Amino acid sequence: MSAEQCGAILVGMMGAGKSTIGRRLAANLRLPFLDTDGEVERRAGVTIKEIFAREGESGFRGRETRVLIDCLNQARLNSAVIATGGGIVMNDANRELLKCAGIPIFYLHATPDVLYARLKNDRKRPLLQDSDPRATIDQLYTLRESLYREVASVVIDVSSRQSTAVERIQLALD
C-alpha cells in the first residue's frame, strides 16, 4: 500500500516534534493532518493545560481516547497523518487501537537530554509545570520507551537529524 493510500501515525515523547513533522509529512503526501492534542483542545474549547486544571489528567485521558478513536476512523476511511500526544501509549486500550488500525506507526525517538533541552522552558505542558522537568522527562521516558516500540513499526531517530525526519519517514513508506 502506498503512503498516499494509508497515511501514517506518529508517536513519541513530548518535544520529539510529532506535530511539526506530521504537518510537513501530511503536506508532502497531500493528506489531511490530524493532531490528537489539537482536536482535544478544539472540542473542549480550552487548552490542555486548562483541561488538566479542571478535570485532572484522567479527564484529559478520557477525551484523548475518544479523539483517538475518531481520528483512526477518519484515517481508515480517507487516509491521514496523525500526530498523537506523548502519553497516548500509557493506556492499554489505546495501544490496541493503534496496533489494530492498519496504518504504519512511526516512533519519533529523541534522547532525554535532547528532550530536556527542547522542553526546559515549556509553559504549556501541564506534566512539566509543577515538577522538576528533567526528572519528569527521565521518568516518563523510562516508563514509555518500550510502549512506543511496542506499537511502532519503524523507529525514526530525531535527536540530531530532526530536519530530515520527514524524508526518512517517506522513504520508509515507499
- Total residues binding ligand S3P (CB under 6 A): 10
Residue 112 near ligand S3P by CB under 6 A:
no
Distances (CA, A) of 43 to 15, 38, 54: 23, 9, 15
Angle, vertex CA 148, rays to CA 172 and CA 92, nearest 5: 130
Judged by CB under 6 A, the residue of 7, 87, 162, 166 near ligand S3P is: 87
Judged by CB under 6 A, the residue of 25, 48, 110, 152 near ligand S3P is: 48
Q: Is 20 annotated as a binding residue?
A: yes
Q: Show the site string, 59-78: x = touches ligand S3P by CB under 6 A, - = not.
A: --------------------
Report, in Å, the least distance between residue 146 CB and ligand S3P: 15
CA 22 from centroid of its chain's CA atoms: 9
Judged by CB under 6 A, the residue of 85, 94, 103, 165 near ligand S3P is: 85
Q: Where are the alpha helices (DSSP H) in 80-161?
A: 92-99, 112-119, 133-151
Residue 125 near ligand S3P by CB under 6 A:
yes
Burial class of residue 7 in the structure, from the number of CB atoms within 10 Å of its CB (0-12 exposed, 13-18 middle, 19+ buried): buried
d(C-alpha 2, C-alpha 86), whole Å: 26
Helix, strand, or coil here: 105? Answer: strand
- Which residues fall within 8 angstroms of residue 6, CB to CB, at 6 or more apart? 79, 102, 103, 104
Q: By C-alpha distance, which of 86, 98, 91 is closest to 140?
A: 86
Q: Is 159 annotated as a binding residue?
A: no
Q: Is 24 annotated as a binding residue?
A: no
Report, in Å, the least distance between residue 165 CB and ligand S3P: 15
Of the pair 9, 48, the CB lying nearest ligand S3P is at 48
Q: Is 19 annotated as a binding residue?
A: yes
Residue 41 near ligand S3P by CB under 6 A:
no
Residue 17 near ligand S3P by CB under 6 A:
no
Q: Where is the binding site for Mg(2+), in residues?
A: 19
Q: Where do contacts with ligand S3P occur on this chain (CB under 6 A)?
A: 14, 18, 37, 48, 85-87, 125-127
